[in-house]
Amino acid sequence: MNDLITVAKPKAYSYIRFSTPEQMKGDSFRRQLQAAEKYAALHGLEIDTTFDFHDLGVSAWQGKNRREGMLGEFLAFVKSGDIKRGSYLLVENLDRVSRENTLDALDTLKDIAREGITIVTLNDQKAYTYETLRQNPFDLMMAVMMFMRANEESEVKARRLKEAWSIKREKALGVGKPLTKLCPGWLSLKPDRSGFDVIPERAEVVRRVFNLTLDGVGQHSIAERLNRENVPVFGRGKMWQRSYINKMLADPAVIGRFTPHTTERRDGKKVRTPTETVEGYFPVIIEREVFDKVAAMGSARPTSTRTTIVNSLAGLARCPICDSTMTRISKGSKGGKPYLACTRAKVGAGCDYKQVRLEDVELAISRHVEELLGGLPSPQEGLQVAWEELLVRRDAVYGEIDRLVEAIAKAGHSAALLRRLRKMEDERDHVTEELERVEHQIADTLTNRVMNTVRELVDAAHDRDRDAGKINATMRQLFSKVVVDYRDGQLWFYWKHAAGEQTGVTFAMPME
């Protein structure tokens, strides 16, 4: 009797996209998912749920889902080998893939098909492969027609929205009716949407900021003073920052002005173009003369032509006390070497001000990068727990072996101690084998993209030139944050691919 051979089913990945978040409340998500599951069942495919390729509320008109969304992620996983050739991409129809102009949309379709992926449109059960697109002109013509129709629909919708915006803008110019509910933090939209009301206590803060500036107080000092006095921050911010003070002082909304912008995409980039400024759009809370004096003070300050120096932990470093960002601070060539400090403490918002030498942090990353990446955690919690338990068990066994060897050296020949030693040595070999087995399993759960990024980080950290910008860009792909815990001299790296897992590296002696 022949053994039964199980043939693995081809993998299928459901790509779900719709343009507006409101569609999530409707039937769009359920309809697309159900159609994908039905097709997979009828055609002997296995829906792979390892990755979720959902672009919910993401437009495909100008290719945002391809450049920034999960469709681009799908193609990246295909190119890295994490998604195998011969797999299927299930979409409701081609306009879920792209609504760009026909040539660009076809490029997207071909890029996916060229990697050996079959694209299936569930509404008509049509399958597109690279071979059919090359050899069957009808498939190509059908794809072109679908993309033309989708792009035309999006163009019409965009044109109507633009026309509606123009009408709203004309009303704003004519009768002062707000274009949108958006307004500065010291104002609120009237209940009847006819204009804006001033929030008195916030307007008073704005006036105080301008007066302090005229008195020669710096922006950082103003932010620090507001934080120490516990003045409530406008909006969702947690504390006053110099950057917000700077924006406030330069915002013409304080003298009533509003400049609407049009937005369009050019060469893959979003470009905002200012239109005619609307005078008197907002209530005036700062006199024009005061605003102009402050503007003149700003323009009189010397500007630096130096570019911002990037450090390896830029945007990643976090305070161990309050979890706020730690920023790079430099006092210039005469002020000593740069260091990291908590942004909340820096502006007097209540955290401890501790300086951490940036050089120590950078050196630790360079020296211990293999140690950091050697314990790459598994995204599967069970495997990670098993690995950690085996490490503890191995250390205990090695400790017991050391104690037995020391006891035998003192007591001389002892049959009981020798039997115990052989047993512990067998246990050590068993734990080592188990540890290797689990480590191989963990390696299998890690995507090629993670492994490739790890190798890039090792190469960048060991590069003689040590490009901090390159190291930082690579680390942002691997870690969600790095806690710089000066209390115990540890850097705690939080992995993106394994939520909750962290790895520690020593960078300095613990602080008192």
* Co-location of 364 and 385 in the same domain: no
Q: Name the 3-class secondary structure at 237.
A: coil
Q: What is the pLDDT of residue 286?
A: 93
Find the CATH number of the domain harbouring 110. Answer: 3.40.50.1390
Q: Is 170 part of a structural domain of the chain?
A: no
- Give the pLDDT confidence score for residue 483 in this predicted structure: 94
Does 162 fall in a domain?
no
Number of H helices, E strands in the chain: 18, 17
89 φ/ψ angles, rounded to the nearest 5 degrees: -110, 115
| pTM for this predicted structure | 0.52
Q: CB within 8 A of 31, min separation 6: which ones?
A: 92
Q: Which of 129, 153, 177 is the last residue of a domain?
A: 153
Measuring CA to CA, which residue among 79, 80, 89 is closest to residue 53? Answer: 89
Both 125 and 193 in a single domain? no
Residue 341 three-state SS: strand
**Helix, strand, or coil (residue 479):** strand
Q: Which residues of 391-427 are buried (b: 16+ CB within 10 A; e: fewer)?
A: eebbeebeebbeebeeeeeeeeeeeebeebbeebeeb
**Parallel, antiparallel or unpaired: strands 88-91 and 11-18:** parallel
Boundary (domain end) residue, out of 275, 300, 325: 300
Half-sphere exposure of 487 (CA within 13 A, CB side): 8
354 and 397 together in one domain: no
Q: Which amino acid is at 504?
A: G
Q: Are residues 24 and 76 in the same domain?
A: yes
Which residues form the domain of 96?
11-153
**For residue 322, what is the enclosing H or E element?**
none
Q: Which two tokens stand for residue 132?
A: 């059919």
Q: Does residue 221 share a domain with residue 320?
A: no
Q: Which residues pair with 13 in a beta bridge?
A: 89
Q: Report DSSP state, residue 333.
A: T
Strand 356-357 vs strand 326-329: parallel, antiparallel, or unpaired? Answer: unpaired
pLDDT given at position 207: 94
* Residue 165 domain flag: no
The enclosing domain of 295 has a CATH number of 3.90.1750.20
Asked if 357 and 478 sit in the same domain, the reply is yes
pLDDT for 395 equals 80
- Collapsed DSSP state (helix, strand, coil) of residue 149: helix
In a domain, 491, yes or no: yes
DSSP annotation string for 388-412: HHHHHHHHHHHHHHHHHHHHHHHH-
Amino acid at 281: Y
Residues 6 or more apart in contact with residue 96 via CB below 8 angstroms: 15, 16, 17, 32, 60
Cα(341)–Cα(357) distance, integer angstroms:
9
d(CA 451, CA 455): 6
Domain boundary among the residues 136, 153, 170 is at 153
Is there a single domain that holds both residue 226 and residue 364?
no
Give yes or no: residues 337 and 354 share one domain: yes
The answer to the question of residue 108 being in a domain is yes
C-alpha distances (whole Å) from 173 to each of 1, 159, 276, 279, 353 are: 87, 21, 10, 8, 50
pLDDT at 156: 63
Judged on CB neighbours under 10 Å (0-12, 13-18, 19+), 47 is: middle
CA separation for the pair 197, 342 (Å, rounded): 36
Kindly state whether residue 163 falls inside one of the protein's structural domains: no
Measured between alpha carbons, how far is residue 370 from residues 47, 364, 375, 436, 459 in Å?
36, 11, 9, 18, 10
Distances (CA, A) of 259 to 251, 277, 282, 434: 11, 4, 11, 66
E strands, 106-209, are 118-121, 126-128, 187-189, 196-198
Structure tokens at 250: 């330069």
pLDDT value at position 393?
83
486 and 429 in a common domain: no
Question: Which residue carries 């909750």 as its tokens?
Answer: 500
| pLDDT of res. 307 | 43
pLDDT at 383: 66
**Is 393 in the same domain as 282?**
no
Across the 512 residues of the chain, what is the mean pLDDT of every consecutive 10-residue run?
63 80 62 88 88 72 72 85 90 83 85 92 90 87 81 66 60 60 88 88 94 86 89 85 88 87 60 74 90 75 47 87 86 70 83 89 84 68 70 81 80 78 87 79 64 74 73 80 91 81 83 58
Is residue 351 located within the same domain as residue 474? yes
Selection from 47, 14, 11 nearest residue 33 by Cα = 14
Model pLDDT, residue 305: 40
d(C-alpha 461, C-alpha 255), whole Å:
51
Q: Which residue stretches of 215-254 are H helix?
A: 219-228, 242-250
**Farthest-apart Cα atoms in the chain, separation:** 104
CA distances from 176 to 131, 187, 203, 272, 281 (A): 59, 15, 21, 23, 6
Q: Determine the pLDDT at residue 60.
A: 60
In this structure, are strands 11-18 and 53-56 parallel, antiparallel, or unpaired? parallel
Domain count, the chain: 4
Amino acid at 84: K
Same-domain status, 331 and 271: no
